[in-house]
Amino acid sequence: MVKDFEARSFSAVELIRTKRDGGTLTDEQIDWLIHAYTDGVVADEQMSSMAMAVLFRGLDDRELATWTQSMIDTGVRLDFSSLSRPTSDKHSTGGVGDKITLPLAPLVAACGVAVPQLSGRGLGHTGGTLDKMESIPGWRALLSNEEMMAQLEEVGAVICAAGDGLARADKKLYALRDVTGTVEAIPLIASSIMSKKIAEGTGALVLDVKVGSGAFMKNLDDARELASRMVALGKAAEVNTVALLTDMSTPLGLTAGNALEVTESVEVLAGGGPADVVELTLALAREMLQAAGSDADPEKALKDGSAMDVWKRMVRAQGGDPEATLPVAQNSDEVLAEADGVLTTLDAMAVGVAAWRLGAGRARKEDPVQAGAGVVMHAKPGDRVVKGQPLLTLHTDTPDAFARAREALVGGIEIGPEALDRQPLLIDRIS
């Protein structure tokens, strides 16, 4: 529901000072602030100051719960209770090569649980699910609520753009955080993600919170705090919520780029694909099914072809051709191993920035992306390599981008005499 607020109900400046000086805001003050900002009563400059105050001072559990609920109340809430099957959703905090949503949604649907996957576009070094899907000829991201409900009932899975009506405050606040250096504020990350997911109306939610150089959360303590706060918000809203902490120091899989990652996702659905992508897809599928009350075995659905069948139906339902040839970049260049030994480091941030500079990502939301651009990895940490062998292949339609992509990789690739101990892909589970 959308509320009307008078400009002088509270003073935005006084609220900023309160939080700046380490005080707490009342429920009424937070409710007014979020709605007044959404309605244009509180200026961007004032909300920028508040976001910075929250970055340094934080929000306690009560403040965060109220902040999140107020954001939900600025828009509509979806209701999937009329569907003939339970719903479960997944959200990733973003990473490099993170194409997991693509095989995961049809896999869970093949096990009898509907997946309303409302996704976004990439910004900076992290790839966007919608950008990947839009590399499929004919596929469309925008669906009406009626189309989404019909597809969930008939197919069991949908990957589409979130409508403007969900948590309207978040769209404004997210854009503001992006240009004011406050994206990393844990309470604002938690409220942004959970306001949309709770408003979406799913019955269960699994959070994939990334940790490492290629993630927003660079260290385990911050990742665990974010995961714990989001799980608490979900449970308070009666959404069965669990979080996995997963490693993002190295890219997921062997590709980073839009069409490249679609191809790899289809390989997983066909029973192949990189071991780490398969491992995480199955781990998240089991969590999503369990949270929705199902004891189905996702590994069986991956092996018997039923997940691939749902993928093809899902793509066709949104106008795409799952059999079409995907775009291929016009130019490629190889990065070669500089010595014999074991690849000890392939830094996720370095690869992500390289893919971004090649055209797979965007600096601003309105920027276009190249469907075929990105990076293919021929070795991962722990693999033995010989001098001169290709480690990476860079793909782009704009060959001038190769030099800057190579600059991003400086220091991100290391070869040593022996393999180093590595953090497991699945680090922890927060429930």
Helix (H) or strand (E) holding 342: strand 341-346
Q: Are 172 and 38 in contact (CB under 8 A)?
A: yes
User: 243 vs 38, 111, 223, 232, 349, CA distance in Å?
Assistant: 30, 21, 10, 10, 23
Q: pLDDT tens digits for 236-286?
A: 999 999 999 999 999 999 999 999 999 999 999 999 999 999 999 999 999
Q: Is 303 exposed, middle or buried (0-12, 13-18, 19+ CB in 10 A)?
A: exposed
Domain at 250, CATH number: 3.40.1030.10
Residues 6+ apart with CB under 8 A from 138: 319, 320, 321, 324
Nearest Cα to Cα of residue 234 among 72, 94, 386: 72
Alpha-carbon span 83 to 122, nearest angstrom:
30
Strands 426-430 and 240-247: antiparallel
Number of C-beta neighbours around residue 221 at 10 A: 10
Number of C-beta neighbours around residue 121 at 10 A: 18
What pLDDT is stored for residue 128 in this prediction? Answer: 87
Strands 413-416 and 341-346: antiparallel
Residue 235: inside a domain: yes
For the chain, percent of residues with pLDDT exceeding 70 = 97
Of the residues 256, 286, 317, which one is the last residue of a structural domain? 317
What pLDDT is stored for residue 10 in this prediction? Answer: 93
Supply 104's token pair.
């995961």
SS3 396: strand
Q: What is the largest CA-CA distance in the chain?
A: 69
What pLDDT is stored for residue 124 in this prediction? Answer: 67
Residue 64: inside a domain: no
Number of C-beta neighbours around residue 33 at 10 A: 26
Of the residues 317, 349, 374, which one is the last residue of a structural domain? 317
Structural domain total, the chain:
2
Q: What is the mean pLDDT of residues 22-49?
A: 96
Let me know whether 357 and 400 are in one domain.
Answer: yes
pLDDT at 165 over 70: yes
Alpha-carbon span 299 to 283, nearest angstrom:
10
Residue 252: inside a domain: yes
What pLDDT is stored for residue 160 in this prediction? Answer: 94
In this prediction the pTM is 0.93
Let me know whether 300 and 361 are in one domain.
Answer: no
SS3 358: helix
Residue 68: inside a domain: no
Alpha-carbon span 333 to 394, nearest angstrom:
5
Number of C-beta neighbours around residue 61 at 10 A: 12
Residue 212: inside a domain: yes
Alpha-carbon span 199 to 303, nearest angstrom:
34
Q: Are 94 and 216 in contact (CB under 8 A)?
A: yes
Q: How far is CA 302 from the centre of its chain?
A: 22
pLDDT at 2 over 50: no
What pLDDT is stored for residue 415 in this prediction? Answer: 97
Let me know whether 275 and 405 are in one domain.
Answer: no
What pLDDT is stored for residue 9 in this prediction? Answer: 80
Residue 190: inside a domain: no
- Which sequence positions are flagged as catalytic? 91, 170, 177, 192, 196
pLDDT at 3 over 70: no
Residue 326: inside a domain: no
What b-and-e string marks burial along 376-393, b requiring 16 or more CB atoms within 10 Å of the CB?
Answer: bbbbbbeeebeeeeebbb
Let me know whether 310 and 382 are in one domain.
Answer: no
Residue 6: inside a domain: no
- Name the β-bridge partners of 205: 89, 241
Let me know whether 289 and 361 are in one domain.
Answer: no
Domain at 393, CATH number: 3.90.1170.30
Let me know whether 336 and 231 are in one domain.
Answer: no
Answer with the residue of higher pLDDT: 3 or 148. 148
DSSP 131-152: HHHTTSTT------HHHHHHHH
Alpha-carbon span 192 to 171, nearest angstrom:
9
Alpha-carbon span 135 to 369, nearest angstrom:
10
HSE-CB for 284 with a 13 A CA cutoff: 34
What's the pLDDT band for 181 if we cut at 50, 70, 90? confident
Let me know whether 239 and 345 are in one domain.
Answer: no
Structural domain including 158 reads: 89-163+196-317
Number of C-beta neighbours around residue 304 at 10 A: 12
Q: Are 78 and 199 in contact (CB under 8 A)?
A: yes
Q: How far is CA 44 from the centre of its chain?
A: 26
Supply 17's token pair.
């000072």
What's the pLDDT band for 1 if we cut at 50, 70, 90? very low
Let me know whether 214 and 119 are in one domain.
Answer: yes
For the chain, give the mean pLDDT: 94
